[in-house]
Amino acid sequence: MMNAKIIAVLFACCVLAILAGSADAVKCYVCNTGDPGCDDSFDSNKMTAANMKSGCTACSKSKGKILGIQATSRDCSLTAAPFDGCKSQSEAGLSGTACFCKSDLCNSSDRVSIATTLLALPALAYIAFRLSIL
């Protein structure tokens, strides 16, 4: 059985790793429908340095139909993302999906990558469970 001090140190290390990872700036693709390779069928080979921005807090990808025209936008957010992942919404004849993510160039695909924090949750839950038993 693990010593409670070892578990506490592991727990603290996991929390610090999550906080450090979420504070890092990320690089995002920045483009709109009409830019070569930026449509929903994304082609990273057509992206240039001008289509990438560093120092972002999060990356975003939005796609939807406006007056029957399909539009896609990829951008850099300098503020915290309202959520991690994708959400779809339809309102007043407009329908679309907004995605936010927090890793380098993560706004390239349909499925936005899972945040490191989500991957670390099972380990944190296990450590917290072990701490409560001891």
pLDDT digits (tens, 9 = 90+) for 63-110: 998 788 889 999 999 998 889 899 998 887 778 999 999 999 999 975
Res. 6: pLDDT tops 80: no
What gap in Å lies between CA 60 and CA 83, rounded to an integer?
Answer: 10
Q: Please state the length of the chain.
A: 134
**In the chain, helix, strand, coil percent, each to 5?**
35, 35, 30
Structural domains of the chain ordered from first start: 25-118 (2.10.60.10)
Q: Are 61 and 85 in contact (CB under 8 A)?
A: no
Res. 124: pLDDT tops 80: no
Residue 127: pLDDT band with limits 50, 70, 90: low
Res. 25: pLDDT tops 80: yes
Q: Which two tokens stand for residue 113?
A: 């990558």
pLDDT of residue 95: 86
Q: Does residue 93 or residue 7 have the better pLDDT? A: 93
Res. 11: pLDDT tops 90: no
Q: Are 84 and 77 in contact (CB under 8 A)?
A: no
Question: Among 10-14, 56-60, 65-69, 87-91, which is the least confidently predicted range?
Answer: 10-14
Residues in Cβ contact with 118 at an 8 Å cutoff, skipping those fewer than 6 apart = 84
What gap in Å lies between CA 44 and CA 30, rounded to an integer?
Answer: 12
